[in-house]
Amino acid sequence: MSTARIIDGKAIADTIRGEIKEEVAALKAQTGRVPGLATVLVGERPDSKVYVGMKHKACLEAGIHTVDRTMPDTVPQAELLSTVQALNADPAVNGILVQLPLPDHINEEEILNAISLEKDVDGFHPINIGRLCMKGRESLFEPCTPKGCVELLDRCEIPIDGKNVVVLGRSNIVGIPVANLLLHRNATITICHSRTADIAGAVRQADIIVAAIGKPHFVKAEWIKPGATVIDVGINSIPAPERKSGQRLVGDVDTEPAKAVAGAITPVPGGVGPMTIAMLLRNTLDGFKALLLEQAMLRLQLV
């Protein structure tokens, strides 16, 4: 019954992490230096702690140096700001990741704005977002999850140019940036959200569906055009009495029946999820390489 190609995000992410590790080692042999990622974690959210922990572990494995700043969720705006500024000034740090969401009393935009553009490896600085949303401009860093979605399509050689892409969700961290990245790649883009009148009708037109709404099994197999590619960004925990933990993770797509219709589909877990961290490592390495290039050019007095 199942015909869809399963896009193994875990395997692809492992390949990319291997490539990054090799490149880091080669640069270290050449220059004696390695890329550095700083994380800023505010408060005690368990999910945020898990994500930051995973990012540190992945850096370690790739040979990337990490700096860990944690602060209580009562931290004043000014103190958080000066933490970011100190990391901007730290030459051993090439990427700064402020884990979102921040507590309500913090002005998130001001904090993201304060991150030096050259170290904005999460791609959430308003100028990087602005460039992402403009024709003919490129952001220095693309947000990691959206970039991971596009990378999956590329590594699977699924064409984007001229295709109808329907994005479900319009958040700042997934829906909107992934739509803009795919527009840059010449897809025809439709963005749906909670006010969309006929989501099923929109999905039926799509050659590629990117689901990022956070609703378990929301996208039904009957909506999917036969042969379409399904990128399932959703990560939702649902009750699973048969498991010891009592729950399991599923995506925004009703995956099992969808496999009989789609041409290719990402599983959850093991699809988009692992790509996010791989892209963060890639952005950090790219920031480091840009710095090395700049320093080399300065030495050669080319600038």
Ligand X SMILES: NC(=O)C1=CN([C@@H]2O[C@H](COP(=O)(O)OP(=O)(O)OC[C@H]3O[C@@H](n4cnc5c(N)ncnc54)[C@H](OP(=O)(O)O)[C@@H]3O)[C@@H](O)[C@H]2O)C=CC1
Nearer to ligand X, 67 or 219 (CB): 219
Closest CB 115 distance from ligand X, rounded Å: 19
Q: Which of residues 225-284 bind a copy of itself (CB under 8 A)?
A: none
> Toward a copy of itself, which CB reaches closer, 104 or 161?
161
Strand pairing category for 236-239 and 247-250? antiparallel
Nearest to 129 by CA among 120, 121, 139: 139
Known catalytic membership, residue 99: yes
Q: How many CA atoms lie within 13 A of 293 on its CB side?
A: 7
Handedness of CA 111, 114, 115, 117 (dihedral sign): positive
Site string for a copy of itself, 193-212 (x = CB under 8 A): x-xxxx--xx--x-------
Q: State which of residues 63, 95, 143, 234 lies at the interface with ligand X (CB under 6 A).
A: 234
The answer to whether 287 touches 90, Cβ cutoff 8 Å, is no
Strands (E) across 117-259 are located at 164-168, 188-192, 208-211, 229-232, 236-239, 247-250
> Do the beta carbons of residue 12 and residue 18 sit within 8 Å?
no
207 catalytic? Reply is no
User: Could you tell me which of 107, 55, 114 has the C-alpha nearest to residue 84?
Assistant: 114
Distance CA 38, CA 86 (A): 11
Q: Which amino acid appears at position 230 of this protein?
A: V
Closest approach, Cβ 106 to a copy of itself, in A, equals: 15
Residue 280 to residue 124: CA distance in whole angstroms: 12
**Residue 221: DSSP 8-state:** G
Q: Name the binder of 213 from ligand X, a copy of itself, none, CB < 5-8 A by kind.
A: ligand X
Which listed option, ligand X, a copy of itself, none, makes contact with residue 130 (CB within 5 to 8 Å by class)? a copy of itself
Q: Are strands 65-71 and 208-211 parallel, antiparallel or unpaired?
A: unpaired
Distance CA 210, CA 184 (A): 16
> Could you tell me which stretch among 28-36, 63-71, 81-89, 131-139 binds a copy of itself (CB under 8 A)?
131-139
Q: Which residue is nearest to ligand X (CB)?
A: 171
Cα pseudo-dihedral 196, 202, 207, 213, rounded to 10: 30
* Structure letter (DSSP) for residue 161: T
Q: Which of residues 96, 160, 213, 281 is near ligand X by CB under 6 A? A: 213
With CB cut-offs between 5 and 8 Å by kind, which of a copy of itself, ligand X, none does residue 28 bind?
none
Q: Does 137 bind ligand X (CB under 6 A)?
A: no
Contact stretch for ligand X (CB under 6 A) within 15-23, 28-36, 102-110, 234-242: 234-242
Considering CB distances under 5 to 8 angstroms, the limit depending on partner class, which of ligand X, a copy of itself, none binds residue 201? a copy of itself
Binding pattern to a copy of itself, positions 165-184, x when CB under 8 A?
Answer: -----xxx---x---x--x-
Binding mask 87-116 for a copy of itself (x = CB under 8 A): ----------------------x-------
Q: Write out the catalytic residue numbers.
A: 55, 99, 122
Residues interacting with ligand X, by CB under 6 A? 145, 168-171, 173-175, 192-196, 199, 212-215, 233-236, 272-273, 276
